[in-house]
């Protein structure tokens, strides 16, 4: 039905064109002018679109982030337009040829002053809280859609984050040979089976987190993973004291890509003072949107000084560290990650979970192994279920042995946990996040990539690293990734022998050119363990550590570890 303005314009156009066109053509011409006016002039006049360019941060607008389609590889040309409509923020983006659009409604506190550039309140009062997003991306491989999703109401909050939720449709059924025996009967998620997880103002949909891993989950790796699918991508471990002292290397590691959001950082500290000061710095300088804390590192040089996985064994010390972070974080959500305990006869995870819950932590994650286990054997998912039953007011995430997308669903169904944390399973396989997005959306994941696609992913990863830290350092850092990408492919041993010696991107390209791009991904490689080697340890602790476990005195020094 035409609006009154439309009818007036059509009538006016008919009158105007009668002077220039015969009567038979005048009516058609009027409709032409009316259509042009409605389609082009009116939207441009009222929308207030800015010129093409990257979105700028509006401190009073609800923030939204949207992931690129899998085909873009994270490096596609991104163009965006912004407009204010009815007190909400509308943004359109073109990512790799895909049209993406979402709308956001602001949620403002009563009596809050308007910041410069903030749109005026619409007539009729305060807009509803939360927001929604919608998007459709058509490409040669099918359709990828995002949303629509229900708004997330956050009373009194100024921000609401929506993590990208890639929902692949019409995926070809996964070849059964790529489904391990243990997952043969696992079905994709049913509609509404797994709810998004709220971490304060962050909505994780699907509830998937990239585990912080030292020397691995830097900005280039996070960017690569984000290009494949949805998730909350956490930085590698940042040491609190080095951050407070503004160590140059630490400050670089704590940086995020301009388009990375939410900005999620893992903080490690053993002293409540430095943890509190580091949190103040991160929040006060608007460097993060989420802080995760590491209490799971099992590395000997860390535990022998009473740090890492040893801290939960002293509950009063743990309590004071967590309290310092939460107190200084303000509205920024704090989460913690920890292990089951020191060893089989010294478990700490249930008390750790209760302390976190009492101190205001927004979610907890359990790596279902002890410090003595390191990364050996199988993760004990039963412990995740126990923790979920003991901690009921905040989300519980499970970590350990997520090698295939179906493992995540199997863990959540078996334990009742709210989400999963993915660590070694994505090493050399960042497309695991694409597969996870698919199964949580109720779809079968696609087949793993052929070697040609793996090669292109390797080239992209290596170039991102070299751009981030220099070619000399970046290419050497990529050596370990190269072994993970190629592990399991027939005849790849000789290639890996060359890859672990590369010193330039040119050398990498020359070696990869020798590979067969049509080689299928070997089914036997689906559960090949990458990263940390097997084997257990006797956990090294400070002398007299067990004499007074209620002692809250911080250890003398901080040592960087591996994130646990």
**Residues labelled as active-site residues:** 297
Report the distance separating Cα 397 and Cα 100, nearest Å.
Answer: 30
C-alpha distance from residue 208 to each of 132, 230, 562 (Å): 20, 8, 20
Report the distance separating Cα 524 and Cα 180, nearest Å.
Answer: 9
Phi and psi angles of residue 421, each rounded to the nearest 5 degrees, phi first: -115, 125
Q: Which two tokens stand for residue 398?
A: 């499970």
CA torsion sign, 302 to 307 to 308 to 314?
A: positive
CA proximity to 390, closest of 349, 340, 335: 349
Q: Please, which residues have CB within 8 angstroms of residue 426's CB and are 6 or more apart in sequence?
A: 210, 225, 432, 433
Report the distance separating Cα 91 and Cα 88, nearest Å.
Answer: 10
Task: Round to the nearest angstrom and report the end-to-end CA distance of the chain.
Answer: 61
Give burial (CB, 10 Å; 0-12/13-18/19+) of 564.
buried
Q: Please, which residues have CB within 8 angstroms of residue 259's CB and are 6 or more apart in sequence?
A: 54, 78
Phi-psi label, residue 134: left if phi above 0, alpha if psi -120 to 50, beta otherwise: beta
Rg of the chain over Cα atoms, rounded to whole angstroms, equals: 26
Report the distance separating Cα 127 and Cα 116, nearest Å.
Answer: 19
Q: Which two tokens stand for residue 234?
A: 């956490």
Beta bridge partners of 264: 234, 290
Q: Which two tokens stand for residue 101?
A: 């659009």
Q: DSSP label at 541?
A: -
Report the distance separating Cα 218 and Cα 493, nearest Å.
Answer: 27
Q: Which two tokens stand for residue 138?
A: 């058509």
Q: Which run of H or E residues covers position 321?
A: helix 315-329
C-alpha distance from residue 258 to each of 51, 154, 406 (Å): 19, 26, 33
Phi-psi label, residue 142: left if phi above 0, alpha if psi -120 to 50, beta otherwise: left
Q: Which two tokens stand for residue 306?
A: 């009473």
Report the distance separating Cα 373 and Cα 198, nearest Å.
Answer: 31
Q: DSSP label at 365?
A: E
Report the distance separating Cα 120 and Cα 108, nearest Å.
Answer: 11
Report the distance separating Cα 554 and Cα 319, nearest Å.
Answer: 12
Q: Which two tokens stand for residue 340?
A: 């089951």
Report the distance separating Cα 74 and Cα 469, nearest Å.
Answer: 18
């Amino acid at each position: 039905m035409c609006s009154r303005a439309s009818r007036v314009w059509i009538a006016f156009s008919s009158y105007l064109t009668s002077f220039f066109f015969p009567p038979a053509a005048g009516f058609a011409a009027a409709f032409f002018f009316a259509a042009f006016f409605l389609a082009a002039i009116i939207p441009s006049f009222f929308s207030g679109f800015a010129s093409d360019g990257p979105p700028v941060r509006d401190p009073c607008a609800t923030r939204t982030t949207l992931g690129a389609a899998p085909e873009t590889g994270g490096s596609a040309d991104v163009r965006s337009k912004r407009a204010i409509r009815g007190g909400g923020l509308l943004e359109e983006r073109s990512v790799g040829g895909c049209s993406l659009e979402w709308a956001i409604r602001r949620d403002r506190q009563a009596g809050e002053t308007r910041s410069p550039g903030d749109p005026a309140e619409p007539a009729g009062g305060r807009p509803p809280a939360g927001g929604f997003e919608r998007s459709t991306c058509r490409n040669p491989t099918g359709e990828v859609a995002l949303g629509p999703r229900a708004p997330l109401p956050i009373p009194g909050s100024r921000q609401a984050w929506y993590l990208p939720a890639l929902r692949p449709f019409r995926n070809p059924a996964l070849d059964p040979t790529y489904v391990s025996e243990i997952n043969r009967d696992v079905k994709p998620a049913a509609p509404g089976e797994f709810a998004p997880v709220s971490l304060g103002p962050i909505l994780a949909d699907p509830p998937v987190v990239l585990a912080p891993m030292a020397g691995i989950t830097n900005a280039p790796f996070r960017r690569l993973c984000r290009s494949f699918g949805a998730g909350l991508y956490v930085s590698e471990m940042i040491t609190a004291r080095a951050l407070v002292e503004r160590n140059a290397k630490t400050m670089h590691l704590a940086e995020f890509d301009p388009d990375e959001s939410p900005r999620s950082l893992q903080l490690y500290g053993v002293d409540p003072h430095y943890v509190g000061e580091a949190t103040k710095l991160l929040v006060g300088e608007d460097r993060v949107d989420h802080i995760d804390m590491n209490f799971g590192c099992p590395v000997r040089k860390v535990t022998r000084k009473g740090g890492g996985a040893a801290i939960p064994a002293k509950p009063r010390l743990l309590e004071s560290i967590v309290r310092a972070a939460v107190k200084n974080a303000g509205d920024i959500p704090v989460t913690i990650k920890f292990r089951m305990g020191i060893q089989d006869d010294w478990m700490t995870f249930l008390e750790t979970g209760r302390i976190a819950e009492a101190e205001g932590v927004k979610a907890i994650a359990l790596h279902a192994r002890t410090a003595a286990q390191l990364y050996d054997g199988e993760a004990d998912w039963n412990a995740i279920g126990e923790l979920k039953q003991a901690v009921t007011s905040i989300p519980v995430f499970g970590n350990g042995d997520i090698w295939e997308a179906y493992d995540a669903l199997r863990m959540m169904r078996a334990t009742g946990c709210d989400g999963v944390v993915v660590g070694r399973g994505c090493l050399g396989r960042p497309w695991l996040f694409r597969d996870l997005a698919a199964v949580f959306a109720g779809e079968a994941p696609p087949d793993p990539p052929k070697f040609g696609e793996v090669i292109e992913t390797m080239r992209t990863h290596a170039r991102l690293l070299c751009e981030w830290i220099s070619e000399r350092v970046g290419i050497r850092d990529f050596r370990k990734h190269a072994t993970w990408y190629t592990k399991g492919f027939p005849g790849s041993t000789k290639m890996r022998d060359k890859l672990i010696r590369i010193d330039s991107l040119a050398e990498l390209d020359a070696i990869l050119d020798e590979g067969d791009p049509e080689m299928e991904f070997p089914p036997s490689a689906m559960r090949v363990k990458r990263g940390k080697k097997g084997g257990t340890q006797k956990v090294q602790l400070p002398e007299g550590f067990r004499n007074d476990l209620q002692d809250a005195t911080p250890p003398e020094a901080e040592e960087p570890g591996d994130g646990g």
